[in-house]
Structure formats: structure tokens, C-alpha cells
């Protein structure tokens, strides 16, 4: 099994490039099917979702737009349960179809806060497109409308996901190696 070191931690390969591509295609297929003629606004959450959002945009075949927000709730390998807005929603969302694009939903605390803020701006519809979902860590009740992969509650890096800012550039996804 392929291993990599990110900072002081060792990770082992968990999800390969072909599985990533298939998951992104599944999400894109759902969006293409459900949003024909609707010109949705994809609202991608930085920093982690930028690679997923980029790949997703290339697979979406309908007219759409993209914008970015930045929220943070992690320190190291743990969630702080406190959400900080670093870059907020700038667009007029009233009457728009919104698809929030996220790399990973674990506790759901960050996404829940963002969804509340979006709904206050009176969009026509709000959906969530998530690359990785950790159902065992999930503490909220909103639906994941477009899901790439459900995964165990392991800490992962690669494909935009990081450990203290490192490892985002790995083309595949790695989980902390068992000692």
C-alpha cells in the first residue's frame, strides 16, 4: 500500500484517481439531470473544495456559474466546533438555484451555518453537493443531495483536503496509517 508523509503524520492510500473521477461524474450527472434550464450558481467552499469544484465544473454540461466562500472550523486533525467566516457570500442569491459544493462533510457544523446564511438571502432552492461524507461523525440533519462518496470517520488528505494546509496537492486521497 502506498504511503506518504504529510508533516509529522504518515498516511496510506485510501481512494484512487479512478474512484475519485467516478464519484465526481456521479455528482455531475445528478446536477446535469436536475438543473437543465435553471442556470444554477455553484457556491464552492474554500480552501478544500477548489479541486472538486474545478473537476465538477468540467463535467457539468448545462449552463451554470460558480462563486466561492471561505469558512474554517478545523485545527490540525480535529474540528473546533466553532465556525469562522473568512470570505462570505457576495452574490445576490434571491430567486437563484444554489448548489453548495463542499469537499467533505463530517460533523456538518460548517455546512449548517452556511446553509442558514444562504436561506436568509431568499434563494429559490438550495442543495448540497459533497465529495466525501462521514455519516458516523454527522451531527446535523440537512440532506446531502449530491454525494460522491460515504467514508468512515478517518482523517484524510489529498484531492484538496489538507492537514494544517499541507497535502492538498496529492492527486489521490490518503487516510492516517494504522501503526
Tell me, yes or no, if 55 is annotated catalytic: no
Cα–Cα distance for residue pair 165/8, rounded to 1 Å:
13
Closest alpha carbon to 114 in 141, 83, 143: 83
Catalytic residue selected from 55, 106, 112, 164: 106
Please list the helix, strand and coil fractions of the chain in percent, rounded to the nearest 5, in that order: 20, 40, 40
Note the Cα 44 to chain centre separation in Å: 8
| CA dist list (Å): 55 to 28, 31, 80, 149, 178 | 9, 13, 29, 15, 30
Q: Known catalytic residues?
A: 106
Amino acid at each position: 500500500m502506498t504511503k506518504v508523509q504529510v508533516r509529522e503524520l504518515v498516511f496510506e492510500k485510501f481512494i484512487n484517481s479512478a474512484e475519485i473521477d467516478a464519484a465526481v461524474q456521479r455528482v455531475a450527472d445528478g446536477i446535469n439531470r436536475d438543473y437543465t434550464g435553471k442556470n444554477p450558481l455553484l457556491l464552492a467552499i474554500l480552501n478544500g473544495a477548489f479541486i472538486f469544484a474545478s473537476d465538477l465544473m468540467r463535467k457539468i454540461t448545462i449552463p451554470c456559474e460558480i462563486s466561492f466562500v471561505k469558512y474554517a472550523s478545523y485545527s490540525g486533525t480535529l474540528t473546533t466546533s466553532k465556525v469562522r467566516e473568512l470570505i462570505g457570500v457576495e452574490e445576490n442569491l434571491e430567486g437563484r438555484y444554489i448548489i453548495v459544493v463542499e469537499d467533505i462533510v463530517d460533523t456538518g457544523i460548517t455546512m449548517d451555518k452556511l446553509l442558514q446564511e444562504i436561506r436568509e438571502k431568499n434563494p429559490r432552492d438550495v442543495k448540497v453537493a459533497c465529495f466525501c461524507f462521514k455519516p458516523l461523525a454527522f451531527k446535523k440533519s440537512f440532506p446531502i443531495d449530491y454525494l460522491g462518496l460515504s467514508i468512515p470517520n478517518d482523517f484524510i488528505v489529498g484531492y484538496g483536503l489538507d492537514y494544517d494546509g499541507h497535502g492538498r496537492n496529492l492527486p489521490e486521497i490518503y487516510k492516517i496509517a494504522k501503526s
